[in-house]
Structure 1
Amino acid sequence: MTHTDTPDTFTLGSRRVKRMGYGAMQLAGPGVFGAPKDRHAALSVLREAVERGVNHIDTSDFYGPHITNQIIREALHPYPDDLTIVTKIGAQRDAQGGWLPDLSPEGLTRAVHDNLRNLRLEVLEVVNLRIMFDVHGPAEGSIEAPLAALAGLQQQGLVKHIGLSNVTPTQVKEAQSVTKIACVQNLYNIAQRQDDPLIDELAREGIAFVPFFPLGGFTPLQSSALADVAARLEATPMQVALAWLLRRSPNILLIPGTSSVAHLRENLAASQLVLPDDALNALNAIGAKGQ
């Protein structure tokens, strides 16, 4: 049922992962802060994801903080051999849940050790360096210093592969002059497509692109074209938006998040949704119009 142009897997570091993964951000409390209202439901979602073949989970120790990783450990440890857990560092939380940049060598070192401890791992498979020059989006500036600190932790054997998050194309190039980059995680979805050229460049280089807020994040996608296609295909608009991302480029890995088993199943079903060419053309026009 999967479209021939849509491969099921792609390389992430030294692993081959299924392109439909899971993002753990929503397993913490409101605002990604504090404990979830239903810890049992959070554990159930993770176990269901893995049972249904998900082998790429995206997390961070600043979700909660610490809580999301502890829930992952409780739900899934000892981990399946093929499970790739990707984390990110570069920020911390204040007492009210605010997001603070923390790109110092000391902060990055502490974050790696926090992730190792809370996930109960001896080495982190992929660590994304979350650049925080601007909390709300990528901003230019050299990332060589924090990247060098993370590369040092990689040389110590604590980190296998390094990725980047919230970065500009210029910063990706700078990073590649320092170390090998396994993936880039930026804001991207059917309506917000400023990274189109970067995605194509990374695809040529065999590097994964992982869109965060694939469904719009805190301002969910609203589009009459999306709704029309969804109605015609008897799918939800969110399923269509995820299916479009899988068709957009073979190096895109998805990590939609949810704290609901029913919603998880709905997200995973999007990988089986076939988009006819006319539907694809209508969807492609959304980003062009900024609908």
Structure 2
Amino acid sequence: MSLSVCDSQGLILGTRSSTRPADASGTFALGGDLPVNRLGYGAMQLTGPGVWGEPRDPDEAVRVLRRAVELGVTFIDTADAYGPFVNEQLIRKALHPYTDDLVIATKGGVTRPGPDDWRPNGRPEYLRQRVELSLRHLGLERIDLYQLHRIDPDVPLAEQLGALAQLQQEGKLRHLGLSEVTVEELKEARTHADIVSVQNLYNLANRSAEDVLTYAEAENIAFIPWFPIATGELARPGSPLDAASRLHNASPAQLALAWLLRRSPVMLPIPGTSSAVHLEENVNAARVRLDDEQFGALTAAA
């Protein structure tokens, strides 16, 4: 018999019989035809310092990726710039051949001269080259979701998206997304291509992209918050998040992720970690249920 764990406030902490906690996050259909579990995994941390080079522990990186899939994660986010290329190659090593329900989303459109150095490059020939390399490194014939990593201010947006739309027509990309954009940029982009996702900085403590989320929700566009579990001062001793964490036997990170999942049905958090232990903690956030009062209290705390 399945047993849900609740406290006196009604916060559901989990179902002990489940081995795939990510299933509890619910699903969202990217582009209306590509369902994924809403709580995914961001693979960026599976590289060296400065998002550069090989991870400190390559074997643990492989374990983390395989464990994510075992826990029910069906959406993994990466980019050709993570490494560069190291991240995509790790994903292939750990998970290829991929299960039918696993969606690998990658990004292109920046150059990496060195650690912590990111420079937009949206020239059509560069984007085409990066797509071809990502296909090779991931071992795919078609990438399910390809995101423009950053809009290049020196190249017309129509040219950047036109190049990706052409690759889409060639069958090499299924869906297109954007990263770190304003509402105005997102609206303009949609005049050039069908955009199914947007990936912006957003978390409980930083909601500067609230207007982008509101627009995405209205248009049924997936909103992928990067840096999703940054809690900052909200997790300090004696804070509302710290108090809620102790009261409900859930970590601040789990509550922050639960808040994101409760915030919008188009929200697809992608918490990242290089540790299998932290991965399990993060994914188990999908089992946390905040009622209206709890959700409102955390919202107001920030």
Task: With the length of structure 2 as denominator, give the TM-score of the two structures.
Answer: 0.87
C-alpha distance in structure 2 between counterparts of 1:282 and 1:142, whole Å: 44
The residue aligned with 1:128 is 147
Shift of 1:30: 1.1
Shift of 1:268: 0.7
- Mapping for residues 39-58 of structure 1, pairs under 5 Å: 39-58=58-77
Does the 8 A contact of 2:183 with 2:215 survive in 1? Answer: no
Does the 8 A contact of 1:91 with 1:132 survive in 2? Answer: no
Does the 8 A contact of 1:210 with 1:252 survive in 2? Answer: yes
The one of 245, 253, 270 equivalent to 1:230 is 245
Shift of 1:96: 4.4
Identity of aligned residues (%): 47
3-state DSSP of counterpart to 2:83: coil
C-alpha distance in structure 1 between counterparts of 2:141 and 2:28, whole Å: 25
C-alpha distance in structure 2 between counterparts of 1:214 and 1:88, whole Å: 18
Structure 2 residue ranges without an equivalent (≥5): 5-11, 14-23
3-state DSSP of counterpart to 2:144: strand
Shift of 1:156: 1.6
Does the 8 A contact of 1:23 with 1:57 survive in 2? Answer: yes
The one of 232, 235, 259 equivalent to 1:221 is 232
CA deviations over 1:116-159 (Å, ceiling 9, x no partner)? 0100101111101122558xxxxxx9622211121121122111
C-alpha distance in structure 1 between counterparts of 2:103 and 2:61, whole Å: 19
- Mapping for residues 147-186 of structure 1, pairs under 5 Å: 147-186=161-200
The one of 27, 32, 38 equivalent to 1:9 is 27
2:216 aligned partner, one-letter code:
L
Shift of 1:90: 1.0
RMSD: 2.0
The residue aligned with 2:45 is 26
- Cα distance change of structure 1 residues 230 and 28 upon mapping to structure 2, 3 Å threshold: same
- Cα distance change of structure 1 residues 191 and 96 upon mapping to structure 2, 3 Å threshold: closer
Does the 8 A contact of 2:25 with 2:286 survive in 1? Answer: no
The residue aligned with 1:75 is 94
The residue aligned with 1:200 is 214
2:195 aligned partner, one-letter code:
I
Does the 8 A contact of 1:11 with 1:207 survive in 2? Answer: no
Does the 8 A contact of 1:186 with 1:211 survive in 2? Answer: yes
Structure 1 residue ranges without an equivalent (≥5): 135-140
3-state DSSP of counterpart to 2:191: helix
Does the 8 A contact of 1:29 with 1:36 survive in 2? Answer: yes
The residue aligned with 1:277 is 292
The residue aligned with 1:138 is none
The residue aligned with 1:137 is none
Deviates more, 1:49-58 or 1:188-197: 188-197
C-alpha distance in structure 2 between counterparts of 1:227 and 1:277, whole Å: 19
3-state DSSP of counterpart to 1:235: coil
The residue aligned with 1:243 is 258
CA deviations over 1:71-99 (Å, ceiling 9, x no partner)? 10000000001100000111021044511
Does the 8 A contact of 1:91 with 1:102 survive in 2? Answer: yes
C-alpha distance in structure 2 between counterparts of 1:66 and 1:33, whole Å: 9
Task: With the length of structure 1 as denominator, give the TM-score of the two structures.
Answer: 0.90
- Cα distance change of structure 1 residues 93 and 7 upon mapping to structure 2, 3 Å threshold: closer
> How many correspondences in the alignment?
277
Shift of 1:43: 0.2
3-state DSSP of counterpart to 2:197: strand
2:181 aligned partner, one-letter code:
V
CA deviations over 1:243-289 (Å, ceiling 9, x no partner)? 000000011011100111110000011011122333212211134xx
Matched, 1:143 2:157: yes
C-alpha distance in structure 2 between counterparts of 1:76 and 1:235, whole Å: 30
Shift of 1:198: 2.5
